[in-house]
Amino acid sequence: MAGPPLLDVTGALTGKRVLFAGVTGFVGKVTLSLLLHRYGRELEKVYVLARKGSSASAERRFFDKVATSQPFQPIRDALGEEGALEFLREKCVVLEGDIVDPAMRLSREQQDALRGQLDVIVNCAGLVSFNPSLELSLKVNTYGVKNTVALCLELDAPLVHMSTAYVAGNRDGLVFEDQEIVGYFPKRGELDGRDFSHEQELQDAERLASRLREQAEDRALSSIFRKRALERLEREGRDLDDDKTVRLAVGRERKLWLTTELVKAGMERAQHWGWPNTYTYTKALGEQVIASTPNLRYAIVRPTIVESALRYPFPGWNEGFTTSAPLCFAGIKGHRLFPAGQNILDLIPVDLVAGATIAITAQQITTAERRVYQMGSSDSNPFAASRSVELTGLYRRRYYRNKKTGNRFWNELMARIEPQSVSGREFELRSAPFFARASHTVKEAIQEHRPTWGAPRLNALLDRALEKLGEVENQARSLSSLIELFMPFLWANSY
CA atoms of 266 and 139, how far apart (whole Å): 12
Question: What does the pLDDT read at residue 337?
Answer: 92
Question: What does the pLDDT read at residue 2?
Answer: 63
**Mean pLDDT across 377-388:** 90
CA atoms of 24 and 320, how far apart (whole Å): 12
CA atoms of 110 and 159, how far apart (whole Å): 18
**Mean pLDDT across 223-250:** 91
CA atoms of 407 and 398, how far apart (whole Å): 16
Question: What does the pLDDT read at residue 143?
Answer: 97
* pTM for this entry: 0.91
Question: What does the pLDDT read at residue 264?
Answer: 96
pLDDT above 70 (res 237): yes
Q: Which of 31-40, 283-292, 478-487 has the lowest mean pLDDT?
A: 478-487
CA atoms of 308 and 180, how far apart (whole Å): 31
pLDDT interval class at 420 (50, 70, 90): very high
- Write out the chain in H/E/C secondary structure: CCCCCCCCHHHHHCCCEEEEECCCCHHHHHHHHHHHHHHCCCCCEEEEEECCCCCCCHHHHHHHHHCCCHHHHHHHHHHHHHHHHHHHHHHEEEEECCCCCHHHHCCHHHHHHHCCCCCEEEECCCCCCCCCCHHHHHHHHCHHHHHHHHHHHHHCCCEEEECCHHHHCCCCCCCCCCCCCCCCCCCCCCCCHHHCCHHHHHHHHHHHHHHHHHHCCCHHHHHHHHHHHHHHHHHCCCCCCCHHHHHHHHHHHHHHHHHHHHHHHHHHHHHHHCCCCHHHHHHHHHHHHHHCCCCCCEEEEEECEEECCCCCCCCCCCCCCCCCHHHHHHHHHCCCEEECCCCECCEEEHHHHHHHHHHHHHHHHHCCCEEEEEECCCCCCCCEHHHHHHHHHHHHHHHHHHCCCCCHHHHHHHHHCCCEEECHHHHHHHCHHHHHHHHHHHHHHHHHHCCCCCCHHHHHHHHHHHHHHHHHHHHHHHHHHHHHHHHHHHHHCCC
pLDDT interval class at 3 (50, 70, 90): low
What is the per-residue pLDDT across 66-113, written as a single tens digit (0 to 9) for each?
999 999 999 999 999 999 999 999 999 999 999 999 999 999 999 999
CA atoms of 25 and 234, how far apart (whole Å): 40
What is the per-residue pLDDT across 201-224, written as a single tens digit (0 to 9) for each?
999 999 999 999 999 999 999 999
pLDDT above 60 (res 1): no
- Compute the mean pLDDT over every residue in the chain, rounded to the nearest whole number: 93
Please state, for a pLDDT cut of 90, what percent of the chain lies above it: 77
Question: What does the pLDDT read at residue 492?
Answer: 81
Beta bridge partner(s), residue 96: 50
What is the per-residue pLDDT across 5-54, written as a single tens digit (0 to 9) for each?
889 999 999 999 999 999 999 999 999 999 999 999 999 999 999 999 89
What is the per-residue pLDDT across 317-331, written as a single tens digit (0 to 9) for each?
998 777 788 888 888
- Residues with Cβ within 8 Å of 403's Cβ and at least 6 positions away in sequence, in order, are 411
**Mean pLDDT across 142-155:** 97
**Structural contact between residues 162 and 22, judged by C-beta atoms closer than 8 angstroms:** yes
pLDDT above 70 (res 416): yes
Question: What does the pLDDT read at residue 344?
Answer: 87
